[in-house]
Amino acid sequence: MSVKNNVPTPHIEAGPGEIAGTILLPGDPLRAKFIAGEYLSDVHQFNSVRNMLGFTGTYEGKRISVMGTGMGCPSIGIYSYELIHFYGVKNLIRVGTAGSISPEVKVRDLVFGMGACTTSNFPALMDLPGVFAPVCSFDLLRRGVDKAEQLGLRYAVGNILTSDMFYGPAEGPEATQKWASMGVLAIEMEAAALYTNAAFGGANALTVLTVSDHLLTGETTSSEERRSSFTDMMKVALSLA
């Protein structure tokens, strides 16, 4: 992977060397601010463009960054591309929320996205002679699962669905049941684009999710709880620096 030197970019105002080789990517920029304030020391803010807050600091002696990505494949697609190709980031770990569609995966459980099915056209835009299957980095996955085991956390590993719709027929009961019947564990909105960009750029990516609501039972959590109290996935992701 060759790193382009023309930084800052249109979306990230960091200069050369301001972003660490490993970055956590929550969708919510306020979650990025929470992670930086709660877990990092010697924190430096490197981005505020479009209020997509980004920070670099140290965690247990290791340099690490965290930045919001917004919602959906186009948004994380822009940020992950620039992080990989302009800033040389090698490990990109999405920490986000998801809706479970599995009876075995409960609210507040962790889900590691081994693969990302998708209703998005993002992977198809890579102009490959076939259908690309976005998958995570096995090394990051193995180490993340090991950490979850050490912490005694409830977790599941498997296929997730990256959806382009939060409201609409793609999220309806019939569609959800079809995905669930194929063993898909949960629905979110960014992993397929992240995994595709990582593959294209020769980087490593992993999605670690906390189940914020359950599409089968109707159980849900508040936006404040999602932003500030889903700390188990944060600890797992930070350990991968």
Across all residues in the chain, what is the average pLDDT?
96
| Cα dihedral 124, 32, 136, 169 in deg (nearest 10) | -50
Residues labelled catalytic = 213
Tokens of 52: 């997509």
DSSP 169-182: GGGSHHHHHHHHHT
Q: What is the pLDDT of residue 171?
A: 78
Tokens of 98: 């998801």
pTM of the entire structure?
0.96
Q: What is the pLDDT of residue 1?
A: 62
Cβ-based neighbour number of residue 51 at 10 Å:
10
- Residue 225 C-beta-side C-alpha neighbours within 13 Å: 9
Contact 106, 211 (CB under 8 A): yes
Measured distance between the N- and C-terminal CA atoms of the chain, rounded to whole angstroms: 20
Contact 160, 188 (CB under 8 A): yes
- Report the relative pairing of strands 204-214 and 110-118 from DSSP bridges: antiparallel
Would you state the CATH architecture of domain 22-238?
3-Layer(aba) Sandwich (3.40)
Instruction: Write out pLDDT tens, residues 128-145.
Output: 999 999 999 999 999 999
pLDDT one digit per residue (tens) for the chain, 241 residues? 668 778 999 999 999 999 999 999 999 999 999 999 999 999 999 999 999 999 999 999 999 999 999 999 999 999 999 999 999 999 999 999 999 999 999 999 999 999 999 999 999 999 999 999 999 999 999 999 999 999 999 999 999 999 999 998 877 889 999 999 999 999 999 999 999 999 999 999 999 999 999 999 999 998 888 877 799 999 999 999 9
